[in-house]
Amino acid sequence: MRKLFVFLAFASIGFSGCQTESESKKLNYKGPKSELDGIDMIFSDSAKAMVRMVTEKQLTLFTEDRVYPKEVKLFFYDKLGNTTTEIRGDSARFDRTKNYYKLMGHVVIHNPLKKETLKTSEFIWLPDQKKIYSEKAVQIRTPNEVFYGIGFDAAQDFSTYSLRQVTNSVFVMKEFQ
């Protein structure tokens, strides 16, 4: 009888130890909620395409924020469907609570109609306000001048813009043929 009691005592300790051990080994997943490849997304207003986003990968986090770790391209369209602005960045992030996109890396904004190009390391797009801005160093190249500054504010189609602090400007002379 005593042997049976000792056996049951050790067995119960062994079984309870297994339960505690397995419970303590639970791991929390810290990766994305979902991963999508080959994104080609259209933002529309009244059934008309206004913005197109193209990127290789989208990671959606549990907070519903989205991370775009690869190159991101944005195309803005006018009411007739013509491309007014082309934007590219090395990567991007969407903040759901503040409802904005942040493009990072080598960011280039090009307005083909006005032949103007802006370069910066980071910019924010506010889709609800239809504005873009940056607080980083920028270079704006027009057909006649190159402007350097810190920070800018612009309409999302880059039709109007202003530099917050101009640090330099250079007049570009066209060569005579």
**Unique residue bearing structure tokens 């032949």:** 115
**Residue 177, pLDDT score:** 37
**Residue 157, pLDDT score:** 81
Q: How many CA atoms lie within 13 A of 4 on its CB side?
A: 1
**Residue 176, pLDDT score:** 41
CATH numbers and ranges of domains, the chain: 34-171 (2.60.450.10)
pLDDT tens string, the chain, 177 residues long: the values are 555 555 555 556 555 555 555 555 777 877 888 999 999 998 887 878 888 999 999 999 999 999 999 999 999 998 888 999 999 999 999 999 999 999 999 999 999 989 999 999 999 999 999 999 999 999 999 999 999 999 999 998 888 899 999 998 888 776 543
**Residue 1, pLDDT score:** 58
Closest to 102 measured CA to CA, from 64, 138, 74, 76: 74
CA-to-CA distance for 7 and 104, rounded, in angstroms? 65
